[in-house]
Structure 1
Amino acid sequence: MKHITSPHNALIRQAEQLQRKSKARKKEQLFLIEGAREITLAIKGGYQLHTLLVCPEIFNQQEQVSKEFVQAQLGVSKDVEIISVSIEVYEKLAYRSGTEGCIAFAKAKTLQLTDLNLPNNALVLVAQSIEKPGNLGALLRTADAAAVDAVLLADPKCDLYNPNVIRSSVGCALTVPIANASTCEVCEFLRMKEIDLYAATLQTSIPYHTASFKNSSAIAVGTEATGLTDEMRDAAKANIIIPMSGEIDSMNVSVSAAILLFEAKRQRDF
């Protein structure tokens, strides 16, 4: 197995670029996945691994590790190149402490609406113009917990493959069916699929629990600062609101999404 000890190695420099720059990820159609759980979820989510970096001293507390052992532990296919790296190299790349000594290069998906295969009576989450990676990651974790059929990122302002998104989603960014599109394309897609759109907004809204989500439904959430656009609200069958009794009129977007999605699940008897 090839072993890299220099942090100036070309592959390591490439990994640094993929980690730091959205432009590099989009150009090469590659991104990094750090951690055994996240890598395992990526494989389960249908992502194709390109290369796998393993630090033996962290991965299995040994100075060396066999390719067969790594494959067995992570479920990696035999055609993935596995490269051993030194602790110095691994620590240079590791995005967070406490990971299991493995970082994978993975091929990005196209994330097209046409790639989605929705079932009958689908439940969809629409997230419009989410900017913060932490918020997007938390939304995707919520979507996974609710087992939604898809997440549609309308006019996304955050790169799905940003390391912070993957980290904050605990790998769920790699398991949920996701598509990127403009707001116009999302609304048209839902109309063509006969999926009722419900917009979470303060304007002319009904309490969320009075709406029926038993048929094919999409729940749209926006940013705390600006909310949903007029275009999204106008396309909705109804605007819905979560009644609040405190001094503020909004919650974190992932919290709001969780309340709305699990109400839909409750109505469908899970």
Structure 2
Amino acid sequence: MYKHISSLQNPVIKRLLQLQEKSRARKKEGVFIVEGVREIQLAIKGGFRLKELYFAEELFPEIKVKDLVKDQEHPEITSLSAEVYNKIAYRGSTEGLLAVVITKDLGLQKLELLDKNLLILVAEAPEKPGNIGALLRTADAAKVDAILISNPKTDIFNPNIIRSSVGCVFTTKIATGTTSEIIEFLHHKKVAIYAAALQASKIYSEIDLTTSSAIVVGTEATGLSKEWLENSTQNIIIPMQGEIDSMNVSVAAGILIFEAKRQRQFK
């Protein structure tokens, strides 16, 4: 029999709301919130460990809970009334399942990669959760070896990122670091750096992307920093035929990454 919570004033519920809303609270505890069946399944498949699991039995039967956590190290399981669950549910359409998941170290030193023919997506200082989620979906769709976030402005385990990535935050290797650290990492791995930039650029389709390559994109507002441009193997550009000279960062990343996949015959 699981513990049951039916009061909105329960301290556990107040804590869960803090974890949903406050990056500081997540970092202090070393955990984050994942909501939804598919997202929790992807987190488990991605090697993340559930610390706690909350379910509304009216929406998600107890028998399914047992099946979901059968291979986990005994997470604490609590049932909630529908009213309480709807209070803490972040998404509008809910499935009655929410987990507190233990954070992983996203430092470059923890990133394990093969040393041949790598394809890496790098995003410098992305801030909008929707854009970060879309970048993660692109990385998953193209099955890149890793996505690296330099100078991150937003907590990668922000609920908005998990939601907008539809769980792809768990399906691709992710690491964060400063621009200098990531450049040093790429040089050490002998990965060519192709920076999406307007200056001194070649059209992206004219570049050989079949060897170990990192596609680097910046923000729509400011582009890439000088440090990336100075360390780029070659700047690349997507020709624009309209009135503006930039496009959404996730769209640009998708075009460039899938050109690399096309050249590699989608291997």
Q: Could you state the TM-score of these two structures normalised by the residue count of structure 1? A: 0.95
2:208 match: 212
1:231 match: 227
Identity of aligned residues (%): 55
In the TM superposition, what are the counterparts of 1:49-198 in structure 2 within 5 Å? Answer: 49-60=50-61, 65-66=62-63, 69-73=64-68, 77=72, 79-119=74-114, 120-198=116-194
1:141-196 deviations in whole A, cap 9, x for unaligned? 11000101111110000110111000000000122111110000000000011000
Task: Return structure 1 stretches of 4+ with deviation > 6 angstroms.
Answer: none
CA contact (8 A) 2:127 2:153 kept: yes
Structure 1: gaps of 5 or more residues: none
- The reply to whether residue 252 of structure 1 matches residue 261 of structure 2 is no
In structure 2, distance between residues paired with 1:215 and 1:8: 57
Partner SS state of residue 59, structure 1: coil
1:172-225 deviations in whole A, cap 9, x for unaligned? 012211111000000000001100010001111100011111111100001100
Pair 94,39 (structure 1): closer, same or farther in 2 beyond 3 Å: same
Amino acid at match of 1:193: K
2:6 match: 5
In structure 2, distance between residues paired with 1:114 and 1:70: 35
Amino acid at match of 2:198: L
Partner SS state of residue 223, structure 2: coil
- CA positional deviation for 1:99: 2.3
1:31 match: 32
In structure 1, distance between residues paired with 2:229 and 2:69: 44
CA contact (8 A) 1:126 1:221 kept: yes
1:101-152 deviations in whole A, cap 9, x for unaligned? 1000001111011111112211100010001011101100110001011111
Partner SS state of residue 33, structure 1: strand
Amino acid at match of 2:65: V
Greater mean deviation of Cα atoms: 220-229 or 94-103: 94-103
CA contact (8 A) 1:128 1:221 kept: yes
Partner SS state of residue 18, structure 2: helix
- CA positional deviation for 1:76: 5.4
Q: Could you state the TM-score of these two structures normalised by the residue count of structure 2? A: 0.96
In structure 2, distance between residues paired with 1:99 and 1:149: 32
CA contact (8 A) 2:41 2:68 kept: no
1:14 match: 15
CA contact (8 A) 2:124 2:218 kept: yes
Partner SS state of residue 213, structure 1: coil
CA contact (8 A) 1:116 1:177 kept: yes
- CA positional deviation for 1:75: 5.7
- The reply to whether residue 242 of structure 1 matches residue 238 of structure 2 is yes
Partner SS state of residue 58, structure 1: coil
Pair 74,210 (structure 1): closer, same or farther in 2 beyond 3 Å: farther
1:225-267 deviations in whole A, cap 9, x for unaligned? 0010010111110000001111111111110000000000011
Amino acid at match of 2:74: D
Amino acid at match of 2:87: K
Amino acid at match of 1:89: V
1:222 match: 218
CA contact (8 A) 1:71 1:77 kept: no
1:64-93 deviations in whole A, cap 9, x for unaligned? x24xx3132466525122110011111111
CA contact (8 A) 2:49 2:72 kept: no
In structure 2, distance between residues paired with 1:39 and 1:156: 24
In structure 2, distance between residues paired with 1:220 and 1:46: 27
Tell me the number of residue pairs that the alignment of Structure 1 and Structure 2 aligns: 264
